[in-house]
């Protein structure tokens, strides 16, 4: 499979503190890739650089064959790269349906794939059909996460980046979330890049995992390889259990 996303030697510092250090990896078209690491490892900073929220100090970000390093978020979105945020911030006074429609302004006009184009269909896909005409501000925290995904999908993404979608969900909600993400990949052809602290759901879903620690990419491999990697065990637990 061809690479949809390629990062080469990406570094980022804040006030002299190096948060990312020469990070390089690729995401293949159609892949489900996970990203893990302890708190403060640099995961969200990496997502922010890819999606245009931040500009790297060094390195390149190439998406769908185009160098998008330093592109603004709206331009990145129109190329087919969408992301969710850890803390959803919908337009509270607007209805759920209006929120989804508003996000489609930044859609990938040349988008391909099988995702529905209609906001109503995306609300049904994300389990919000009963709340479509309600103000987004009244949604529960898990429902706001669903809305965050519906808004991202309304941009017709080739690549969807999920930032801790399962965090704070119940076991039943986590199962629902996992099934949705698998369906987006299998049934709709969306490439998935997923940060998650709920390790059991991530490891059961993705094909490959990247591990970042203190700004360094310390490991990459299949879920089975990652859970037995000594560098990963050291980063999380201070070493392999005796």
- 3-state DSSP call for residue 234? helix
Is the pLDDT assigned to residue 145 strictly greater than 70?
yes
Residue 136 has what DSSP assignment?
G
Residue range 46-86, pLDDT digits in tens: 999 999 999 999 999 999 999 999 999 999 999 999 999 98
Question: What is the model's pLDDT at position 108?
Answer: 76
Please give the Cα distance from 104 to 98 (Å, whole number): 10
Question: What is the model's pLDDT at position 234?
Answer: 86
Whole-number average pLDDT of the chain? 92
Please give the Cα distance from 136 to 96 (Å, whole number): 5
Residue range 148-197, pLDDT digits in tens: 999 999 999 999 999 998 888 898 999 999 999 999 999 999 999 999 88
Question: What is the model's pLDDT at position 242?
Answer: 46
């Amino acid at each position: 499979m061809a690479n949809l996303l390629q990062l080469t030697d990406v570094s980022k510092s804040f006030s002299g503190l190096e948060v990312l250090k020469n990070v390089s990896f690729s995401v293949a078209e159609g892949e489900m890739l996970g990203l893990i690491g302890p708190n403060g490892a640099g995961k969200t900073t990496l997502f922010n650089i890819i999606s245009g929220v931040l500009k790297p100090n060094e390195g390149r970000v190439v998406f769908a064959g185009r160098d998008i390093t330093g592109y603004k978020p709206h331009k990145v979105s129109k190329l087919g790269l969408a992301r969710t945020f850890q803390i959803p911030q919908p337009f509270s006074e607007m209805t759920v349906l209006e929120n989804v429609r508003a996000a489609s302004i930044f859609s990938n006009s040349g988008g391909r794939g099988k995702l529905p184009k209609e906001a109503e269909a995306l609300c049904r896909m994300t389990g919000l059909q009963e709340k479509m005409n309600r103000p987004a501000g009244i949604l529960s925290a898990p429902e706001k996460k669903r809305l965050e995904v519906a808004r991202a999908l309304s941009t017709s993404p080739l690549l969807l980046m999920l930032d801790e979608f399962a965090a704070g969900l119940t076991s039943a909600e986590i199962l629902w979330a996992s099934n949705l993400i698998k369906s987006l990949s299998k049934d709709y052809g969306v490439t998935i890049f997923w940060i998650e602290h709920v390790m059991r759901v991530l490891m059961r879903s993705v094909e490959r995992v990247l591990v970042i620690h203190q700004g360094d990419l310390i490991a990459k491999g299949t879920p089975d390889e990652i859970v037995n990697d000594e560098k990963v065990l050291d980063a999380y637990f201070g070493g392999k259990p005796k």
